[in-house]
A and B are shown apart, each in its own frame.
Chain A
Amino acid sequence: MDILGHLADGMLLSIQPLNLLLITIGVTVGLFIGAMPGLGSVNGVAILLPVTFLVPPGSAIIFLAAIYYGAMYGGAISSVTLGIPGASTAVATTFDGRPLALQGRAGLALVCAAIASFIGGTVANILFTLFAPLLASVALSFGPPEIFALMLLAFATFVGLGGDDIPKTILSICMGLVFAAVGFDQVSGAPRLILFNINGFLHGINFLVLAIGVYGIGEMLWTIYSTRGEITSTKAEISAAQIGRDAKECMQRGWKGTTIGSLLGFFVGVLPAAGATPGSLMSYGVTKMLSKNPKEFGKGHPAGVCAPEAANNSASTGAMLPMLTLGIPGSPTTAVLLGGMVIWGLTPGPRLFVEQSDFVWGLIGSFYVSNLAAVIINLAFIPLFIWMLRMPFTVLAPLIFVLSVIGGYAAMRDMHDLWLMVAFGAGAFFLRRFDYPLAPAVLAIVLGPIAEPTLRQSLLLSSGDPTIFVTRPVAGPITVIAIVLILLPALKFFRKGKPAPAE
């Protein structure tokens, strides 16, 4: 009952006029920053950090948490309406959100994103409130072999159940992972894979450069080519009644994805160094794996929007847990928040819950209020986003190209990245023509920087013995599931005695 008392106090604190105003402003600003390709919650939180010195620390962290929430909701908007992931956390939302928008069902995708985000956020808040210290200790028991096994599972879901050409899927994953290795070797610090000795590769290949190249340029060229440029506008319509019908369909077809996303996203978010992006990608993969119709994924299935959106909101709350209880940030944004807390004179760690109980419970209370504010503000803005989609395609297409270029530059501020993005766009267009799946490459470039160090640390722990991934109690079962999934196409081949007929 103690917890409920604290929570009630925290909620009362967060609905004080100043805090409520800051939540509303924070969520709205976050929504637009999240929707802008190239800018994510980390930019919003970092840029607005100095503003928070004007208000008390409790209100300041509430404001930043509201931006964080808003940005998580906002990432889905550009994924659905423009087909460009607004942030890495919204990459998986593009897989089904964009096809839904192209079918004239952008309203359904946006409503699914809003509702799933709300449920994901709420589930995460409840888990956070009830189990914060316990979960923090479980997360700490996850070592490099366990995290690498989780990464392996994420890739395996694409190979085993992708429904695409197997060698092309494997090639796409490997290419993304190799691109992620460009730059510097994280262990020795030596330059690595500086392709054609071009200096621009020294800072690596940012995932956004590949994602915007593939989705913003390659996919757009493909749409213009495959429709012969005859798209004048999409059929997207929206009204209050339509939002109601979409919400009903979302609950019926997306409940499983939302549930998986909420729970899995939270746990992956809690893991140090993981965060919302792997959480959303893995939830998408697992939902697809457990679905009765995995082939519908990637073609516009509401669960394909619900799972990553529930997960990225859930994970963003989960990532706050190690930050508050242990002082370990679970994502770049929480690292900035942690910096802010230190500036305000607060010491994150186990003592924070005891010494600054008002602050902590005010923050937790604000999670609930921010989440509610975010879903209301997001639903209110849906007609505006739909209106954007009803623009003639010859207006929308150049705007997407402009947003791609400006977003691609804003990420790393290097002209080299823009040329690389255009090259990726052209490459993606031709690879798409030859049925190469490109989503696995985007997934791989995001997960590569987590997968490689955990593999190397694991092999160092075991003195080079790869059985470490199957002999540890938690890593073992995850690795076995991943291997079975990778071998699934081969098992199908032997059962049928011949390959599946080409579509």
Chain B
Amino acid sequence: MRLGEIITAGVLALLSIYMMFKSTELNIGYVRGEGPGGGFWPFWLSALMLISTGWIAFNWYRRTSPPSQSDEPVLDEYGWKMLFLVGGSILVFVGLIPVISMYGAIAVFLIYYLKFLGRHSWPLTLVLAIGLPIGFFFFFEGVMRITMPKGLSFTEPFFNVLYDIIY
């Protein structure tokens, strides 16, 4: 944790410097007749972020914050495994949306999570994994008129059937 604390502060300091740098693309000072320039607000706030990271590093040096006193690892074996299985599945879920559509990706994600992580029965898994995307389809496309990504062209026949029901 102690090493992690200072690395996190360092990453945030780099982010602050990058945002200060990006802010300078617009005027960061006072423009007569126009008020503060477009870069003024984000530049000085990023500078304040940088000062805060310095303060966090100082507290780390003095060992006053709880993480800077702790010798335990940032994440144990369970933590990394959980991050890989759950966090990784969310990444795959989002990555599948442009390929098999929002609704298809929801179905695949639910099957993975409910059956393989949750170890629920097939009937429950299939009811939720098929029923929920169809319910969402009618709610978003039919009622709210919000179009979700439909994926590649091979999904068209499925959606044509559903659109026939709406229209």
Closest residue of chain A to B144, judged by CB? A47
Q: Tell me if A413 and B82 are in contact (CB < 8 A).
A: no
Closest residue of chain A to B91, judged by CB? A422
Q: A174-B49, A401-B90 known; A415 and B97 CB under 8 Å?
A: yes
Residues of B within 8 Å of A409, CB to CB, are 97, 102, 148-149
**Chain B contacts with A in 74-126, Cβ cutoff 8 A:** 74-75, 78-79, 82-83, 86-87, 90-91, 93-94, 97-98, 102, 106, 109-110, 113-114, 117-120, 124
Distance, CA A455 to CA B113, complexed state (A): 47
Distance, CA A413 to CA B144, complexed state (A): 13
Chain A residues touching B, range: 35 or more
**Interface membership of A395, Cβ < 8 A:** yes
Q: A394-B117, A422-B91 known; A402 and B49 CB under 8 Å?
A: no
Mark the stretch among A72-80, A135-143, A181-189, A351-359 that contacts chain B: A181-189
Q: What 1/0 mask marks residues of chain A from 155 to 177 whose CB sits below 8 Å from any chain B CB?
A: 00000000001111011001101
Residues of A within 8 Å of B128, CB to CB, are 395, 399
Q: Tell me if B55 and A167 are in contact (CB < 8 A).
A: yes
Q: A178-B46, A192-B42, A221-B83 known; A43 and B113 CB under 8 Å?
A: no
Q: Shortest beta-carbon distance, B82 to chain A, in Å?
A: 6
Q: Tell me if B79 and A192 are in contact (CB < 8 A).
A: no
Q: What 1/0 mask marks residues of chain B from 1 to 41 whose CB sits below 8 Å from any chain A CB?
A: 10011001000100000110011011000100011101111
Residues of A within 8 Å of B59, CB to CB, are 165, 167
Q: Shortest beta-carbon distance, B93 to chain A, in Å?
A: 6
Q: What 1/0 mask marks residues of chain A from 84 to 124 whose CB sits below 8 Å from any chain B CB?
A: 00000000000000000000000000000000000000000
**Interface membership of A31, Cβ < 8 A:** no
Q: Tell me if A229 and B53 are in contact (CB < 8 A).
A: no
Residues of B within 8 Å of A195, CB to CB, are 18-19, 22
Q: Shortest beta-carbon distance, A150 to chain B, in Å?
A: 17
Q: Tell me if B145 and A47 are in contact (CB < 8 A).
A: yes
Residues of A within 8 Å of B38, CB to CB, are 185, 187-188, 190, 192
Closest residue of chain A to B5, judged by CB? A434
Q: A394-B113, A394-B118, A409-B148 known; A170 and B26 CB under 8 Å?
A: no
- Contact partner of B56 (CB less than 8 A), chosen from A168, A224, A225, A419, is A168
Mark the stretch among A62-70, A268-276, A374-382, A424-432 that contacts chain B: A424-432
**Chain A contacts with B in 376-423, Cβ cutoff 8 A:** 392, 394-395, 397-399, 401-402, 405-406, 409-410, 413, 415, 418-419, 422
Q: Tell me if A405 and B94 are in contact (CB < 8 A).
A: yes
Q: Tell me if A402 and B106 are in contact (CB < 8 A).
A: yes
**Interface membership of A460, Cβ < 8 A:** yes
Q: Tell me if A503 and B56 are in contact (CB < 8 A).
A: no
Q: Shortest beta-carbon distance, B20 to chain A, in Å?
A: 10
Distance, CA A392 to CA B125, complexed state (A): 13
Closest residue of chain A to B49, judged by CB? A174
Q: Tell me if A457 and B148 are in contact (CB < 8 A).
A: no
Q: Shortest beta-carbon distance, B41 to chain A, in Å?
A: 5
Distance, CA A187 to CA B35, complexed state (A): 10
- Contact partner of A174 (CB less than 8 A), chosen from B45, B120, B144, is B45
**Chain A contacts with B in 453-471, Cβ cutoff 8 A:** 455-457, 459-460, 464
Q: What 1/0 mask marks residues of chain B from 52 to 71 whose CB sits below 8 Å from any chain A CB?
A: 11011001000011110100
Among B1, B19, B145: residue with most chain A CB under 10 A: B19
Q: Shortest beta-carbon distance, B28 to chain A, in Å?
A: 11
**Interface membership of A9, Cβ < 8 A:** no
Q: Shortest beta-carbon distance, B75 to chain A, in Å?
A: 8
Q: Taking beta carbons and an 8 Å cutoff, which residues of A are in contact with B? A: 39, 43, 47, 165-168, 170-171, 174-175, 177-178, 181, 185, 187-188, 190, 192-195, 217, 221, 224-225, 228-229, 392, 394-395, 397-399, 401-402, 405-406, 409-410, 413, 415, 418-419, 422, 425-426, 429-431, 433-435, 452, 455-457, 459-460, 464, 499, 502-503
Q: Can you report 15 residue pairs joining A to B where beta carbons are below 8 Å apart?
A: A43-B144, A170-B52, A171-B12, A174-B46, A221-B87, A394-B119, A405-B102, A406-B140, A415-B97, A422-B94, A426-B87, A430-B74, A434-B8, A435-B65, A455-B41
Beyond A190-B26, A395-B120, A433-B74, 9 additional pairs, beta carbon < 8 A = A165-B56, A171-B53, A174-B52, A192-B39, A193-B23, A392-B118, A405-B106, A409-B102, A460-B34
